[in-house]
Amino acid sequence: MSDTFGWSSETWRDLVIPLAVFLAGVLATLWLRRIAYNRLERWAKRTKWQGDEILLQVTKVSSILWCLLLSASLALAVSKVPERWKNPSSDGLWTLFLLSLTLSALSLASKLITFYGERLQASQRAIRLSNTITSAVIYVIAILILLDIWGAPISVVLLITLFFALVIILVFRETLINLVSGLQLNAIKNIKVGDYIKLETGEEGYISKIDWTTTQINVMGKSTVLVPNSKLLRSTVINYGQTLKKAREPFRFFDRAHLKELTGFKAKNLRELADILKNAPPSVVYYHTHQFLEEQPYFAPEPANDFAVWVTDTLGNELLGEKLASVDAFELLTPEALRAKIVSIIEENLSAGLETRESLPGGEFHFMKSVSAILPTQYEAHDLREFLETLRKLSLSSLHLHIFEPRLRLGKATNDFSIWLENSLDEKELADKIAKFDPYSYTLEVTRSLLIQLLEKHIQ
Amino acid sequence: MKLGDYEAIVGKDSIQELRLLARKLSGKVIQNVNSTFTGGGVAEILSRMVPLLSELGVDARWDVIKGDKAFFEVTKKLHNALHGRDEQITPQDISIFQETSQKNIEDLSLYGDIMFIHDPQPIALVERKRGIGKRWIWRCHIDVSKPNEAAWNLLLPWVLRYDSVVFSAPAFSTPLSTRQFLISPSIDPLSDKNKELPQDTIDAVVSKYGIAKDKPLIVQISRFDYLKDPVGVIQAFRLVRRSMDCRLVLAGGTATDDPESEKVLSEVMDMSSGDPDIHVLSIPAGSDIEINALQRAATIVVQKSLKEGFGLTVSEALWKAKPVVASAVGGIPLQVKNKFTGLLSHGIEGTAYAIKQLLGKPEYARWLGENGREHVRHNFLITRHLRDYMLLFLTLEYPRDVIYI
């Protein structure tokens, strides 16, 4: 009987102590958990990173189970359970912990991917793909650990897993690089949707979307360029900042090719020059006062207008040549006014009897005009930024067309740029500044530089 | 050569512009007609232009008229007369010209939407205009600034029947009822005659012709023709050599439609015989690398023509950034902007004086040469020529000063 009682007393102790350890463990770990969570939640609210709040939310319930499992593990350690039961029980507890940890990791990964995916404006397909890949990785790791817990051989499984992992990495190498680059771009926040960027490789425009793997650049509202995020991260990128005010109508850049048309008329002295010029069409006047600007933009100093050059070089009348060279085409608003001014200077000279010379045979002044073909270009500007960036790369003939031709050839009040700035962007002040700018005083390249400076200053 | 090959030289925008213009000519057949497939500037231009137009999608084709020796002797006479030389155009000449022209009018298949007729030899083909319609352009490659009246009057009735006439220099035009355009010819920067050459090649060519490199080299490249005035060049050279040591190279070939070349060559040989500083080189047609090398070896390039259609050798020299002294005739003043891209002269003494100026001021000579290269890049390369031709074809459809394409 006493043996029986003694056995019962020992058994009671063996049961009570682990139970007490378990209950104490539960109480202690839950208390510690509560303190830890309270502090972590306060800290998480202070930080900008929303990932910590997701982490706390996901582990809040699981952590209760982890407290129970830890307590059970301690109880098992102090218990007198025979060794042959103790190890499987311990493995069982680890297995439960692993399952709980796996579920938490899956939930955490899914929530983080969705969170960042939405921030990066990733497509649902990309989010689903990322979820699947991450889940697969978590499952594989969990299975490997589980096998290790239960003492199964994992070398072969590990090798196969590594092989497949390598294959996947190789196949999706670019995607993965771009994915990581997308995360980096998001983290460093150097560029964002709405910024106007220019890559060293030439792509430029407003960023319309930053995806997981690519960044979309809207090129002048006409086309979209998809730049892989990895390229964006590797390239030198100039970021000009946020979108500027949109124009009501875009500025469409045109180019001009011209063909020289011969009139057949020629002058060998000033009298003939004046007489033919009086009756010449405006296109002839325009040609002889502007052709050198476009055809010989590389001469510095550039030659004067054709009348001045002929009078100086062929007739040898430098004084009159100087007067003709100084005729200000910028102040004279129409070709007719320009013609009248040139004719009046020549006639004044003739009436003073200062010029009787004739050109040598073959040195006559030949009256010509040009036929302009106006060609569309790929460029279109919707705001000042696009306008400025296009100006940098515009051909000289296009610049010539928009600056010189509107007033004297197409009958407009001023240059095309000023008209657009005032009418479509309400930038009257800037429009006036450009309208008052005298392009006849500079080469076309210098004109371009000065316009760029003006626009840069205005945008700043 | 492919069109894309020119992008590095003239820029992407220029090539895009050509493609845009070509699209507007889609469906049109351009038929070029001249008198020879080989020899001379016209054949050289067409042999490059036609394939490039085709690459752009413009259906350009090239045919030649037929003619016997007598016909080509008459056309050579006409050619000289149009250049202003005193030639007697006899009734028999006119008869030979008209008979062969009539044969060509009857035999040649004229299928183009735009008939592009080059030079006087096939000018009479426009007789078919009344029968077949189409648009007709006469491309005059020669200097008609002071033509022999009889020769010009012979051609004028045909000239006036064309829709448009194209000249190479403003001085060639007179008031006509037909629209007239100025289109300068061009050089191909990628051809054997103009491409970059390694120094070894240049040295090998100079050495092959026994030209010592001990003195500055004055070079004129032209076929042996009175109008290129090789005799005048020798005279100018001898004036220069009185005070400055230098060598002269006169190099050129002959064209199949020019029976006079051999006679001129013989005269030049006689004049230079016994002078070790003068090298007269008769170079066979097609020796483009050799011509290129001689131009690149030159210290100064001269083009002392008495008459010139355009003078493509001037553009060739300018493209090689060589200082150029050239006569102010024909299309040369378009290429040599006096004191900007070279020096213009009007006679033997003026030519000698200009050569001496450049030999004495190598920095100035270099500056002129560099300016000259840029001038050619913008105005006298084949890409500009292609653009002008396509614009010309378009003006036939849109007869206005401003065309929106």
Same-domain check for residues A133 and A228: no
Residue B138 sits in a domain of what CATH number? Answer: 3.40.50.2000
For residue A258, the chain B residues in CB contact (below 8 A) are: 391
Residues 327-356 of B with CB under 8 A from A: 328-329, 337-338, 340, 346
Q: Are residues A217 and A154 in the same domain?
A: no
Same-domain pairing of A203 and A170: no
In a domain, A185, yes or no: no
User: Residues for chain A: how many in total?
Assistant: 460
Report how many domains make up chain A. Answer: 3
Cβ contacts (< 8 Å) between B340 and chain A: which residues?
296, 299, 303
Whether the Cβ atoms of residue B70 and residue B78 lie closer than 8 Å to each other: no
Name the minimum distance, in Å, from the CA of A283 to any CA of chain B: 8
Return the closest-CA partner of residue B323 out of B306, B347, B292, B344: B344
B129/B210 same-domain check: no
Q: Are residues B119 and B239 in the same domain?
A: no
- Which chain B residues are closer than 8 Å to A303 by Cβ? 337, 340
The verdict on B160 touching A (C-beta cutoff 8 Å) is no
- Are residue B263 and residue B167 in the same domain, yes or no? no
Q: Which of residues 298-317 of A touch B (CB under 8 A)?
A: 298-299, 303, 313
Instruction: Indicate whether A117 and A234 sit together in one domain.
Output: no
Average pLDDT of the segment spanning B383-400:
90
Distance from CA of B346 to the nearest CA of A (A): 10
CA atoms within 13 A on the CB side of A217: 21
A&B contacts, CB < 8 Å: 99
Of B167, B176, B392, the CB nearest to A259: B392
Residues A116 and A204 in one domain: no
Average the pLDDT over each of B200-209, B255-264, B334-343, B356-365 and give the range with the smallest value.
B255-264
User: Residue with structure tokens 């020879």?
Assistant: B36
Q: What DSSP line would sit under A29-69, residue for residue? A: HHHHHHHHHHHHHHHHHHSS-THHHHHHHHHHHHHHHHHHH
Q: Are residues B140 and B179 in the same domain?
A: yes
CB contact under 8 A, B403 and A371: yes
3-class SS at B61? strand
Sheet strand arrangement including B278-282: B278-282, B247-252, B217-221, B300-303, B324-327, B343-345
B217 token code pair:
């080299």
Same-domain check for residues B235 and B149? no
Paired tokens of B372: 């000259």
- 3-state class (DSSP) for residue B218: strand
In a domain, A259, yes or no: yes
At residue B405, the 3 state secondary structure works out as coil
In chain B, what residues touch A264 (CB-CB under 8 Å)? 173-176, 180
Q: Is B392 within 8 Å of A409 when comparing Cβ atoms? A: no
Decide if A184 is inside a domain: no
Q: Which two tokens stand for residue A176?
A: 């993965």
Q: What residues of chain B lie within 8 A of the CB of A298, using their CB? A: 371, 374-375, 378
Produce one character per residue of B122-158: b if its CB has 16 or more CB atoms within 10 Å, e if not.
bbbbbbbbeeeebbbbbbbbbbbbbbbeebbebbeeb
What is the C-alpha separation between B125 and B392, in angstroms, rounded?
A: 20
Preceding omega of A301 cis (within 30 degrees of 0)? yes
Span between the terminal Cα atoms of chain A, in Å: 101
Q: What is the CATH number for A207?
A: 2.30.30.60
Q: Does A364 touch chain B (CB under 8 A)?
A: yes
Q: Is residue A454 part of a domain?
A: yes
Contact between B335 and B341 under an 8 Å Cβ cutoff? The reply is yes
B146 belongs to a structural domain: yes
Residue of A nearest to B19 (CA): A375
- Distance CA(B377)–CA(B398), nearest Å, equals 28
The minimum CA-CA distance between B170 and chain A, rounded to whole Å, is 6
Do B107 and B222 share a domain, yes or no?
A: no
B142 part of a folded domain: yes
Distance from CA of A248 to the nearest CA of B (A): 24
B-proximal residues of A, 322-361, CB under 8 Å: 360-361
Residue B402 inside a domain? The answer is no
A246 lies in some domain: no
Question: For position A1, what pLDDT does the model report?
Answer: 45
Residue of B179, B401, B404 lying closest to A283 (CB–CB): B401
Give the long-range contacts of residues A44-49, CB within 8 A, separation 24 or more: none
Quick one: B231 and B175 in the same domain?
no
Alpha-carbon gap, residue B100 to B78, rounded angstroms: 14
Q: Are residues B174 and B221 in the same domain?
A: no
Quote the pLDDT of residue A299: 60
Q: What is the pLDDT along chain A (460 residues), one digit of tens a residue?
A: 444 455 566 777 778 888 999 999 999 999 999 999 999 888 888 887 777 888 888 888 889 999 999 999 888 888 887 878 888 888 888 999 999 999 999 999 898 888 887 777 666 777 787 888 889 888 888 888 888 888 877 777 778 878 888 888 888 888 778 777 877 777 666 788 888 888 888 888 888 888 777 888 888 767 788 888 888 877 888 888 777 888 999 999 999 888 999 999 999 999 999 999 999 988 899 899 888 777 666 665 566 789 998 998 888 888 999 999 988 888 877 888 899 999 999 999 888 876 678 888 778 999 999 888 898 888 999 999 999 989 998 888 899 899 988 888 778 889 999 999 999 999 999 999 999 888 888 888 888 999 999 998 988 7
Work out the minimum CA distance from B24 to partner chain A, whole angstroms: 11
Q: How many angstroms separate the CA of residue A373 from the nearest CA in chain B?
A: 5
What domain count does chain B have?
Answer: 2
Q: What's the one-letter identity of residue B287?
A: S
Residues A365, A271 share a domain: yes
Which pair of tokens denotes residue A9?
Answer: 């007393």
A interface mutation test: which of B305, B343, B403 has the most A CBs within 10 A? B403
Alpha carbons A211 and A230: distance in angstroms, whole number:
12
Site from A272, A371, A398, A410 to mutate, B interface, most B CB atoms within 10 angstroms: A371
Task: Say if the Cβ atoms of B145 and A362 lie within 8 Å.
Answer: yes
Total-model pTM:
0.71
Instruction: Give me the residue from A261, A298, A366 closest to B179, CB to CB.
Output: A261
For residue B404, tell me if it sits in a domain.
no
Of the candidates A263, A299, A362, which has its C-beta nearest B328's C-beta? Answer: A362
Q: Based on the domain organization, do B123 and B173 belong to the same domain?
A: yes
Residue A135 lies in a domain: yes
For an interface test with A, the pick among B13, B318, B373 (most A C-beta atoms closer than 10 Å) comes out as: B13
Range of B150's domain? Answer: 3-186+381-397
Please give the mean pLDDT across all residues of chain B: 91
ipTM score assigned to the predicted complex = 0.84
CB contact under 8 A, B346 and A298: no
Test B173 with A255 for CB contact under 8 angstroms.
no
Domain range for A377 is 251-459
Whether residues A71 and A113 share a domain: the answer is yes
What percentage of chain B carries pLDDT values higher than 70?
99
Q: Side chain identity at A239, as an amino acid letter?
A: N
Same domain, yes or no: A112 and A195: no
Q: Where are the alpha helices (DSSP H) in B167-287?
A: 199-208, 230-241, 261-272
Q: Examine the domain organization and report whether B210 and B62 are in the same domain.
A: no
List the single residue in A with minimal CA-CA distance to B23.
A375
Q: From CA B230, how far away is CA B311, in angstroms rounded?
A: 14
Does residue A151 come out as left (phi exceeding 0), alpha (psi in the -120 to 50 range) or beta? left
Domain endpoint, select from A146, A178, A210:
A178
Are B272 and B286 in a shared domain? yes
Residue B324 lies in a domain: yes
CB-CB neighbors (< 8 A) of A296 in chain B: 337, 340, 375, 378
Say yes or no: A206 and A264 in one domain.
no
Distance from CA of A156 to the nearest CA of B (A): 57
More confident residue, B256 or A195: A195
pLDDT of residue A2: 46
Q: How far is B396 from chain A (nearest CA, A)?
A: 12
- Asked if the structure places residue A183 within a domain, the reply is no
The strand order across the sheet containing A223-228 reads A223-228, A214-219, A204-210, A196-199, A237-241
Band of pLDDT at residue B255, cut at 50, 70 and 90: low
Same domain flag for B148 and B270: no
Residue B271 in domain: yes
Q: Does residue B403 fall inside a structural domain? A: no
Strand, helix or coil for residue A127: helix
Q: A234 with A289, same domain?
A: no
Distance of alpha carbon A199 from alpha carbon A187, whole angstroms: 20
Give CA–CA dist A71/A115, Å, rounded: 34
Examine the domain organization and report whether A307 and A337 are in the same domain: yes
Asked whether residue A166 is assigned to any structural domain, the reply reads yes
Task: Read off the pLDDT of residues B308-333 as tens digits, 9 standing for 90 and up.
Answer: 878 889 999 999 999 999 998 878 98
Same domain, A282 and A162: no
For residue B167, the chain A residue with the least C-alpha distance is A262
Q: How near does any CA of chain A get to the CA of B72, in Å?
A: 29
